[in-house]
Amino acid sequence: MPAFALIAAKDPRGKEFLVRTEIEVVSADIWMYVAPTDPAEIGGLRARGEWKPVFSGSKDVIVVGLSHVTESAEILLYLDILHELCHITQRHRGMPLWGGDYSYVDRPTEVEAYQFVIDEARRLGATTPFLQEYLKVEWVSEEEYQRLLERMGLPGN
């Protein structure tokens, strides 16, 4: 089954949510994220000045950095879009996307979304080194990165 159909199947109205999701490209040097609906959704992240997000109101919006769109390999964009679409269905299933008492790599929504894209990448023939590199993101510590690799069934590097 195609990846988008698998995501849509996670919620009875999943296809509707995915079709209505908008993409907003911004000039900020960022990767990609689901726009929070309002400041309350992200809690203290904005208050600490770590991030200046786009807020989507009642719409589902995926925010993408222009440099990511223009400079990243197509497979990375594909996997990242799938990851964020997983978050859209999670939000509609009532799962909080931000904050909580979890580190980024332990947050249930991130684990589910990363597992989905890792499975899709494997289906497409991605190598272990590619997947290890894909999961190495600048906002997690080396310890968290190793924990994420383990969660995804990948050897540490």
Instruction: Collapse the DSSP code of 5 into the 3-class scheme (helix H, G, I; strand E, B; otherwise coil) and give the result.
Output: helix
- Whether residue 157 is contained in a domain is answered as no
Question: Residue 48: pLDDT above 70?
Answer: no
Give the pLDDT mean for 26-47: 78
Average pLDDT across the chain, whole number: 87
Q: 136 vs 47, 123, 140, 148, CA distance in Å? A: 26, 20, 8, 9
Give the pLDDT mean for 129-137: 94
Question: Residue 143: pLDDT above 70?
Answer: yes
Report the distance separating Cα 89 and Cα 77, nearest Å: 19
- Whether residue 72 is contained in a domain is answered as yes
Residue 30 is part of which domain span? Answer: 3-151
Give me the pLDDT at residue 82, please. 95
How many separate domains does the chain show? 1
Give me the pLDDT at residue 110, please. 94
- Whether residue 90 is contained in a domain is answered as yes
Report the distance separating Cα 50 and Cα 108, nearest Å: 22
The radius of gyration computed from the CA coordinates of the chain, to the nearest angstrom, equals: 15
Question: Residue 47: pLDDT above 80?
Answer: no
User: What is this structure's pTM?
Assistant: 0.89
Give me the pLDDT at residue 45, please. 58
- Whether residue 156 is contained in a domain is answered as no
Higher pLDDT, 54 or 154: 154
Q: Which alpha helices (DSSP H) does 43-73 contain, by range?
A: 44-47, 66-71
